[in-house]
Structure 1
Amino acid sequence: MSEFNHTHGGSMKLREKFFGSVLLLVVTATAWRILTPRDVVQVTAMFVDERPAPTFQLLDQNGRQANLQSYLHRHRIVLVFFDSSHGLNGDPLMRRIREFAPAIKRTGIRLIAISTPMTPEFKSQAENFPFPVLHDTRSGYPDSSSVMWGTAILPSTKSVADIRPAIFVIEQTGLVEWDGNKPKPIADSELFLTQLISGS
């Protein structure tokens, strides 16, 4: 009987030592976690509002119908709205795009320019342009491409509203980035063109 009590007592002491060691480890680990500063990793979710690009059908510089729908889902498209009051050669942005148009085209990107109809003195500049130059003859009207894309300068006292220069990128999926109820233009046209030309 005394042998049993001796053995039983020894087992109890071993268990007490074991649980004491475990408890000490738990307390030590908890204290270390509390006292040791941990880096806080902040993850910012970037939400890009992409929706289908508003489509249109306009006449190009040669009087042919040009429908945006025919380009969608086949190419990445760079849509350039410009002010035609000084013609194509008088617009710095259009001059630069024309200069690098062959290199841009080789990347598979399709360039399309849109403005109000040019005066006869500037019309000939567009005839041999290396990409479509479309005429928005209804700029300022609710169903016009310039209003749908947010580039018409309104209110306007003219029969055809002037167009605010802007560049948009339509992905091959047919989607374009939006800001509110209009497509969102590229923030820095010069930087975008530099990156586009360099292939970055």
Structure 2
Amino acid sequence: MQELIAVGDRAPDFTLPDQNNRKVNLVGLSADRRVLLVFFPLAFTGNCEGELALIRDRLPEFENDSLTTVAISVGPPPTHKVWSSAQGFLFPLLSDFWPHGAVAQQYGVFSERHGYPLRGTVLVDRDRTVLFADVAEAGAPRDATVWERALRLA
């Protein structure tokens, strides 16, 4: 795993398909709001489902006039479509499928050993400056305080 992107770094732009196969890019997302990037290992897994359900259940905190939130994993758009429909996730689930994990690698949250991103949380300002960055160890859930620390800066 590469080193986690640092606070103060410029967040790399990316363009990825969402669960509806629409192209989403960081430059467009950050044009008028801060962006919370929520990297997760895999759809249809317990910890990931619980974390994204928290976002779903508290959506006004994660999606408002000053902040937008996207979740990113290596799963393909059709998988994300089925999962997001079943779970009622109304925020974008972006597919970092090919090149496999390239965006997660740029942000320093990709586990080569596992072949998927770890639970990374990165808050990006409108000028693409990283305001917050955290990553959980492989197999570990996101620290319970991560959401509050990131949202406080949003």
- Using structure 2 for the length normalisation, give the TM-score: 0.73
1:193 corresponds to: 147
Q: Deviations over 1:2-57 (max 9, x none)?
A: xxxxxxxxxxxxxxxxxxxxxxxxxxxxxxxxxxxxxxxxxxxxxx8512111111
Q: What amino acid is the match of 1:169?
A: L
Q: 1:129 aligns with which of 89, 97, 102?
A: 89
Cα deviation, residue 173, structure 1: 2.5
Q: Percent identity?
A: 23
Q: 1:175 aligns with which of 111, 129, 136?
A: 129
Aligned length: 142
Question: What are the equivalent positions in structure 2 for 1:82-97 lying under 5 Å apart?
Answer: 82-87=40-45, 91-97=49-55
Higher helix share: 1
Secondary structure at the counterpart of residue 134 of structure 1 = strand
- Using structure 1 for the length normalisation, give the TM-score: 0.58
Q: Distance in 1 between matches of 2:65 and 2:135?
A: 19
Higher strand share: 2
Q: Distance in 2 between matches of 1:90 and 1:76?
A: 23
Q: 2:56 aligns with which of 98, 119, 123?
A: 98
Contact 1:139 1:152 in 2 (8 A): no
Q: What amino acid is the match of 2:40?
A: F
Q: Distance in 1 between matches of 2:94 and 2:80?
A: 14
Question: What are the equivalent positions in structure 2 for 1:90-169 lying under 5 Å apart?
Answer: 91-106=49-64, 108-117=66-75, 123-127=81-85, 129-138=89-98, 140=100, 144-155=102-113, 161-169=115-123
Q: Distance in 1 between matches of 2:58 and 2:111?
A: 28
Secondary structure at the counterpart of residue 147 of structure 1 = helix
The higher radius of gyration belongs to 1
